Amino acid sequence: MNLFDFSGEREEMDRLCEEIEAHNRRYYLEDAPIISDREFDALLQRLQELESLHPEWKRSDSPTQRVGGGLTERFQTVAHSRPMLSLDNTYDAEELAAFFVRLEKALGSIPPVVCEPKIDGVAIALHYTKGILTQAITRGNGTEGDDVTQNVKTIHRIPLRLHGPNIPDELEVRGEIFMPKSAFHRLNDALKTQLQDKGLAEAEIQDQLYKNPRNTASGSLKLQDSSEVARRGLDAFIYYWASEMGRGQSHHQNLKQLAEWNFPIPPMVTKCGQLESVLQHASLIEGQRPDLPFDIDGMVLKVDDLSLQQELGFTAKSPRWAIAYKFEAEQAYTRLLSIEIQVGRTGALTPVANLSPVQLAGTTVKRASIHNADFIRELDLRPGDWVRVEKGGDIIPKITDNDTTQRPTSSRPYHFPDLCPECRSPWQQNPGEAIRYCSNHKGCPPQLLGKLTHFVGRKAMDIQALGEKTLALFMERLAVASPSDMYRLTASQILSLEGFQEKSVNNILDGLEQSKQVPFERVLFALGIRHVGETVAKTLARHFGSLEALSQASKEELLAVDEIGEVIADFIQLYFADTENRAEIEALEGVGLQFQMDPSAMIVQQGPLSGKQVVVSGTFTEWSRDEVTRLVESLGGKCVGSVSSKTDLVLAGEAMGPAKRAKAESLGIQILSEAEFKKNYLG
Ligand code: IVH
């Protein structure tokens, strides 16, 4: 046998491609997987291994592209084969009737039309050559768009290769890429947790969250890192066969053919003969709107017969053979009953509107968020006003307009309260920020509850027996006013509260006791210093080694730490300048919390990897990923997630991602295997 004969591996690669795509289809299209996720991952990993050994055999339709990994530095602008037009819009049945009159005038009779939901996403053109996806182009200006092929390949329901008879050599289809509501909420939930960990106020968090699935889909499609696109969970529907080769004369039939080749076709597509049935179908689609897993904003009508389409032709902007019947935005007018000021955990005072109940996209809305006091002034909102509420991409409904003509004559301008409604302290505003904060940071009940809840949280002191309800009770009944007060509670004090038995009391006391072993970096995070989130706390703890050293650090010393900027440095200094904070720290130290780093976890200032950025990838035989990270850090290096021109060294374990390796190679970065690393740095 020839030792260099890899043809078996090439066959294996082909086989794996087919097999994995078949499993993908079962999973994503038929919802009927026949292997476990683990087995699937093993197949994919094997294919990745073979592709990194034989990159020249990697197929452009390989399912490994679904997980992304490739980077696009700049998206190429490419011309569309035929313009990507938009659609004429109508908003009511009368305008729709006028469309039918126009059709009748032009054609002599009303032709059958196909009705489809209008997906609220981003238009895309997909090109297939001999059944293989070769290019995906955004709409751009309609004449040319961006080539986003790598990113689009991560969308599981878009076929990379077509299966079945009669596939034309050249095929262009068009459709809409969208972010399912569930993926959008998942993304926002994760971002919210991150921002909360950073200690941001609720109103600031609301400002930074993704606004709606459509914009998020559009932004995701333009991300440079395709593996991040893969994680975003985008999806697509195809609604138009644009090229001529092999295309039939009926749009409806064409969609059927596309479905047979595994293209995802929108649900609720139907052929109607007259206006009445079109309107019926529109009500059906609109009725389904709140329950659909993706956003739609109307229904599209298309003349079914392509020869009639040709006869009708185009205006400069849109086809004459199609029209969008737009549903009302998910908005409604209702009475503003009152404005209430809520106090968040950071002390942010957020106005909330109480509304006369109104139906909005299938749910009853009684409350809506109002951004901040400036917004009240801008719209001159007053109780009694007739306001417009909108559901922005399904998040919390918000007030978007005020119809002042409907205002009762007795109304007076709204006066934002001068004092915090919870503790009657005056509020303050940071320069340049619209949000107002209650100034009583230590004593205002919601702020204190927020602080205590943060302190016992999973990523902080992790005292699971203490939840928000219990903490609120401790504050109210046992005068707990700081974390150190909790450690001074006795069993009999807690037992005196209603609903507490010996077992739950023991759990609480055990939890408090165990928290005394929580390492310093998490104690530092638990203190809740503004802008000192989980990661910053870790960095500071490892750098300074103790709370004592951190509290005495000058601004310059703080700024010299990686990732610490002016704002964080200022907040740290402000925190330690406060006498009450210092007294609380002393009390917590007296209780026995860890205020020093375990020396083995400290960052080594001088070591063979000092000042070096290291990317760790793949799996290792001797160490877990956490152990490798600690090892690199103990040698003075810093572990970073992705390869860039700043990377100094890649530590490559087994099954390192092929894209990462290729990138490191192209940048000429040193790549060391586990054995080489041991020899060079530990030997
Ligand atoms: S047909 C020439 N069908 O709506 C064919 N468009 O406002 C034009 N859209 O640019 C497109 N769902 O991005 C068509 N079922 C559907 C659609 C749809 C959503 C989008 C598409 C179009 C925009 C026009």
Q: Is the pLDDT of residue 137 over 80?
A: yes
Average pLDDT (355-379) is 84
**Amino acid at position 549, single letter:** A
**Amino acid at position 456, single letter:** V
Average pLDDT (159-188) is 95
| Ligand 1 atom nearest to CA at 117 | 15
| pLDDT band at residue 180 under the 50/70/90 scheme | very high
What 3-state DSSP class applies to 282? helix
Closest residue by CA, ligand 1 atom 22: 86
Closest residue by CA, ligand 1 atom 6: 118
Query: Could you state, in order of their start, the residue ranges of all structural domains in the chain?
Result: 7-67, 89-326, 331-428, 445-517, 520-602, 613-681
Domains 89-326 and 331-428 fall in the same CATH topology: no
Least confident of 185-194, 558-567, 597-606, 624-633: 597-606
In whole angstroms, give the CA distance from residue 224 to residue 75: 9
pLDDT at 184: 92
> How far, in whole angstroms, is CA 309 from its chain's centroid?
40
Task: Indicate the class that CATH gives domain 445-517.
Answer: mainly alpha
pLDDT at 603: 57
Average pLDDT (65-89) is 88
What 3-state DSSP class applies to 85? coil
Mutate to test the pocket of ligand 1, among 119, 254, 294 (most ligand atoms within 8 A of CB): 119
Q: How far is the CA of 396 from the centre of ligand 1 (A)?
A: 27
Q: How many CB atoms lie within 10 A of CB 179?
A: 31
Sign of the dihedral through C-alpha 134, 136, 140, 141: positive
pLDDT at 114: 98
Average pLDDT (333-356) is 91
Mutate to test the pocket of ligand 1, among 118, 241, 263 (most ligand atoms within 8 A of CB): 118
Q: How far is the CA of 277 from the centre of ligand 1 (A)?
A: 21
| Ligand 1 atom nearest to CA at 123 | 13
Q: How far is the CA of 183 from the centre of ligand 1 (A)?
A: 22
Q: How far is the CA of 362 from the centre of ligand 1 (A)?
A: 25
β-pairing verdict for 613-617 and 638-640:
parallel
Q: Is the pLDDT of residue 395 over 90?
A: no
Q: How far is the CA of 250 from the centre of ligand 1 (A)?
A: 18
Q: Is the pLDDT of residue 469 over 50?
A: yes
| pLDDT band at residue 1 under the 50/70/90 scheme | very low
Instruction: For residue 629, give both structure tokens.
Output: 């990270």
Comparing 176 with 657, the larger pLDDT belongs to 176
Instruction: Classify domain 89-326 by CATH architecture.
Output: 2-Layer Sandwich (3.30)
Q: How far is the CA of 239 from the centre of ligand 1 (A)?
A: 8
pLDDT at 443: 87
Beta pairing partners, 353: 339, 368
In whole angstroms, give the CA distance from residue 142 to residue 660: 35
pLDDT at 535: 85
| Ligand 1 atom nearest to CA at 324 | 7
Closest residue by CA, ligand 1 atom 21: 123
Mutate to test the pocket of ligand 1, among 90, 126, 176 (most ligand atoms within 8 A of CB): 176
| Ligand 1 atom nearest to CA at 118 | 12
β-pairing verdict for 270-272 and 113-119:
antiparallel
Residue with tokens 């038995």: 501
Average pLDDT (615-635) is 83
- DSSP letter assigned to residue 637: -
Q: How many CB atoms lie within 10 A of CB 408?
A: 11
Average pLDDT (423-452) is 90
Q: How many CB atoms lie within 10 A of CB 310?
A: 11
| pLDDT band at residue 518 under the 50/70/90 scheme | very high
Q: How far is the CA of 324 from the centre of ligand 1 (A)?
A: 8
Domain 520-602 has CATH 1.50.10.10: no
Residue pair 390/397 in contact by the 8 Å Cβ criterion:
yes
| Ligand 1 atom nearest to CA at 266 | 15
pLDDT at 344: 84
| Ligand 1 atom nearest to CA at 116 | 15
Q: Tell me the fold of 331-428.
A: OB fold (Dihydrolipoamide Acetyltransferase, E2P) (2.40.50)
Average pLDDT (108-118) is 97
* Catalytic residue set: 118
Mutate to test the pocket of ligand 1, among 91, 174, 300 (most ligand atoms within 8 A of CB): 300
Q: Can you spell out the DSSP letters for 508-557?
A: HHHHHHHGGGS-HHHHHHHTT-TT--HHHHHHHHHHH-BHHHHHH--HHH
Burial profile 418-455: b = 16 or more Cβ within 10 angstroms, e = fewer: eebebbeeebeeeeeeebbbbebbeebbbbbbbbbbbb
Q: How far is the CA of 297 from the centre of ligand 1 (A)?
A: 11
Closest residue by CA, ligand 1 atom 10: 86
In whole angstroms, give the CA distance from residue 468 to residue 462: 13
Q: How far is the CA of 172 from the centre of ligand 1 (A)?
A: 15
Instruction: For residue 646, give both structure tokens.
Output: 């700043």
Mutate to test the pocket of ligand 1, among 82, 88, 239, 297 (most ligand atoms within 8 A of CB): 239
Closest residue by CA, ligand 1 atom 23: 86
Q: Can you spell out the DSSP letters for 289-324?
A: GGGSSS-EEEEEEEESBHHHHHHH-B-SSSBTTEEE
In whole angstroms, give the CA distance from residue 240 to residue 93: 25
Residue 392 sits at the vertex; the CA angle it makes with 389 and 395, to the nearest 5 degrees, is 105
pLDDT at 601: 62
Any residues with Cβ below 6 Å from ligand 1, and which?
85-87, 116, 118-119, 123, 176, 239-240, 266, 300, 319, 322, 324
| Per-residue pLDDT tens over the stretch 220-263 | 999 999 999 999 999 999 999 999 999 999 999 999 999 999 99
Residue with tokens 């991150």: 194
At residue 528, φ and ψ (nearest 5 deg) are 75, 35
Instruction: Classify domain 7-67 by CATH architecture.
Output: Orthogonal Bundle (1.10)
| Ligand 1 atom nearest to CA at 122 | 13
Q: Tell me the fold of 613-681.
A: Rossmann fold (3.40.50)
Instruction: For residue 516, give both structure tokens.
Output: 């005394």
206 dihedral zone (left: phi>0; alpha: psi -120 to 50; beta): alpha
Q: Is the pLDDT of residue 328 over 90?
A: no
Closest residue by CA, ligand 1 atom 17: 118
Q: Is the pLDDT of residue 534 over 60?
A: yes
| pLDDT band at residue 3 under the 50/70/90 scheme | low
Q: How far is the CA of 644 from the centre of ligand 1 (A)?
A: 39
Q: How far is the CA of 133 from the centre of ligand 1 (A)?
A: 21
| Ligand 1 atom nearest to CA at 302 | 1
| Ligand 1 atom nearest to CA at 120 | 19
